[in-house]
Structure 1
Amino acid sequence: MSTTQTETTEPSPWSKVAVAVGLLTVAVSVLLTAFAWPSVRSSLHDVPIAVSGPAPAVAQVTAALDQRMPDAFTVTRVDNTATAEELIRDREVYGAIDLSTGSPQVLTASAGSVQVAQALQSVATALGQAQAGAAPAVTVRDVVALPADDPRGAGLAAGALPLVMGGMLAAVLLTNLLRGASRRITGALVFAVTGGLALAAILEFWFGSLDGSYLANAGAIALSIAAVSLTLLGLESLFGYPGFGIGAVVMLLIGNPLSGSTAAPQMLPGWSGTLGQLLPPGAGNQLLRSTAFFDGQGATHSIVVLVSWLALGVVLSVLGAARSRRKAATAPQPEAVLAAA
């Protein structure tokens, strides 16, 4: 047996085993932290709500909220029920406590966030207990409810990861199957449209998880997919596979857990909710909620974020293609190499 064959069949040294185990341990720890930390540490932080009614009553309820749930809510005072409902439908607040009529009520919007709606229901229970039968019972009314076929919003929350994975898959396949920046960009945009139409149809017509205009929902999904796929295409075009790896980490390990798809951005710990809304997964989820349940209200920020990422991806792809052409132009041609030999 030759020396080469002996070397290739020898077992790896135990030091390599230790390194492999260490890397795997770090990787699984990072995955757990990325996906579990936002949920474990989630709580109410400055969630915007409205309180309608006379100034003394509003001040009393606001003080009670601050005492029972410090820093949980940011209160906007309004005069009547109609104004409170308008703020909810415009996605400026997540709900309201209405004291402007003889029967106090709590207004929620489960389509905006099931968790915040549940928190406001607990507030209604606490208000009712505080009244101790001295006033009419506090009622809860869902102003913008989730569809009856999916009252917990499970489809919308579960759909966040496939949107990210779809964009990543598109970037991988287009990079390996197509040559030329224009063809890759075109392929990504066309796939975003077809993927948006397909996923919106599944979520709306099969699962019953979405309301609103089908085409608007498909457009929101398409914009999300395009932002992810083109960003990854651009990073790979300019920096190679390390660029793709960095983009995948940003989208999958940072953007998806911090998207707020299962709760609300204000419930995520510290600055993470704000960061999540600046990344395509978070912006895409909020945009889809706006188109599906709020007639497009509150969509401007999300559209700006997604279009910015999409444009960045296109620019990076063009720059990467230009650099490749320059390298090809300056590289020695085979005929010149043979002549010099």
Structure 2
Amino acid sequence: MTANPARTAPEPGDATSSTPPPEGRRTAIRLAGVVVGLTAAVTLMLCTFGLPSAAGGPHHAPLGVTGPASAVAAVQQQLPDDDWEVTVYDDPRALTHAVENRDAVGGLALVDDGVTVYTATAGGPQISAAISGLGTALAERRHVSATVHDLVPFPEDDPRGTGLASAALPMVLGGMLPVIVLLRLFPGRVGRRTRFVGVVAFALAAGAAVAAVLQFGIGTLDGNYGIASLGLALGMAALAIPLLGLDALFGNAGFGAGSLVMMFLGNPLSGLATGPYWLPDGWSALGQFLPPGASGSLLRANAFYDGTGAGGPAFVLTAWVLAGLTLVFVADRRHRRKAGTSPVA
């Protein structure tokens, strides 16, 4: 008895069927994917925006102390090592110099008739408030008075630094929005050079505008306007040029991934409102290596510390710019190899 060579058509639910699933199933699968993806995005947003704030507090913040050896030793024993890294200074002058040069976020000078507290509100309002609380509590235990000196305050027009805290999101959007607009107006490989010129021009113009609003409008900044505007321009370019490179190399997926990282990680971990020592150690380190955090640190250094500490964040931002240019170059080489043509002018 011979087998029938003819094969019957596979059933709709047969695993070996190569026919696409019915339209209803495809719609349900697509809808489920959208729901899961959006849920993951919202959860990620909550984690990145909420967890660092919930765990906010001093994290290995450098604190200076000066005074009699016995009093200093007692203070060191009382302070948690995970919160404060205590450095002993010879006298109050050395301590104030350390705070003004960003070697310490603040300090306590212990004398027989009181406690002198040195803070730098512009370096981080929350840290400064915590140091003031430490000094006040210590003075109460010693039954003496506490005197607070804010060595690096915000300007009188914005004593709480509201403008600095509100600048985080515009700085991130200032790197994303021009890329979105320029990609739509000048699409394709032909417009690549135009997009790059547009991003650089926008960064310079937006940096000048944001610095003008913060310094002359709100009164948050107190320093050299030109240097502050150039620092902001470098920060926006350090965000925008890598996004251009990711789009050139990987298309919409690359741009989307880069934007999500900058928005969901770079923005909440920038430490612009609090200073980096208020964030948990791992979050803080990551934030300072991303363009928003480095840009905020550069702005704080230029505006309130006469450029002290500006070298590190400027280097990070420059590295991001070079990384973006490298991505653009690699994408151009790949497209030329595929097309077998010379570069487009």
Q: What TM-score range do you get, normalising by the shorter chain?
A: 0.7 to 0.9
Q: Does 1:50 align with 2:64?
A: yes
Q: Once the 2 structures are TM-superposed, how far is the Cα of residue 110 of structure 1 from its aligned partner?
A: 0.4
Residue 170 of structure 2 aligns to which amino acid in structure 1? P
- Look up the equivalent residue of 1:292 and give its one-letter code: A
Query: Which residue identity lines up with residue 182 of structure 2 in the other structure?
Result: L
Q: 1:71 Cα shift?
A: 2.0
Structure 1: segments with no counterpart, 5+ residues: 1-8, 331-341
Deviation at 1:17, TM superposition (A): 4.3
2:75 to 44, 61, 66: 61
Instruction: State the alpha-carbon separation in 1 of the partners of residues 33 and 24 from structure 2.
Output: 18
Question: What TM-score results when the alignment is normalised by the length of structure 2?
Answer: 0.86
The 5 A counterparts of 1:291-302 are 291-302=302-313
Secondary structure, aligned partner of 1:168? helix
Deviations 1:174-227 (A, max 9, x none): 223233443322221111111100000011100111110111110111110010
Number of the residue aligned with 1:171: 179
Aligned length, in residue pairs: 317
Determine the C-alpha separation between the residues in 1 that align with 2:333 and 2:284.
37
Q: Amino acid of the residue matched to residue 313 of structure 1?
A: G
| Maintained 8 Å contact 1:188/1:230 | yes
Residue 99 of structure 1 corresponds to: 110
Q: Bigger CA drift: 171-180 or 156-165? A: 171-180
Distance in 1, matches of 2:87 and 2:79, equals 13
Give the Cα separation in 2 of the matches to 1:163 and 1:140: 33
Match of 1:162 in 2: 170
Q: What secondary structure is seen at the aligned counterpart in 2 of 1:320?
A: helix
1:77-226 mapped onto 2 (5 Å cutoff): 77-99=88-110, 103-132=114-143, 135=144, 137-178=145-186, 179-226=190-237
- Contact 1:105/1:138, CA 8 A, preserved across alignment: yes
Cα distance in 2 between the residues matched to 1:112 and 1:71: 20
- Describe the superposition over 1:281-301 as per-residue Cα deviations: whole angstroms up to 9, x where unpaired: 111101100011000101111
Equivalent residue runs for 1:241-320 within 5 Å: 241-320=252-331
TM-score, normalised to structure 1, is 0.87
CA change 1:317–1:16 in 2 (3 A) is closer
* Contact 1:185–1:314 (CA under 8 A) maintained in structure 2: no
Between the two proteins, what is the percent identity of the paired residues?
A: 41
Residue 140 of structure 1 aligns to a residue whose secondary structure is strand
Q: Pick from 38, 42, 47: which aligns with 2:52?
A: 38
Larger Rg: 2
Q: Indicate the residue corresponding to 2:38 in structure 1.
A: 24
Moved more, 293-302 or 149-158: 149-158
- Measured on the aligned residues, the alpha-carbon RMSD in Å equals 2.1
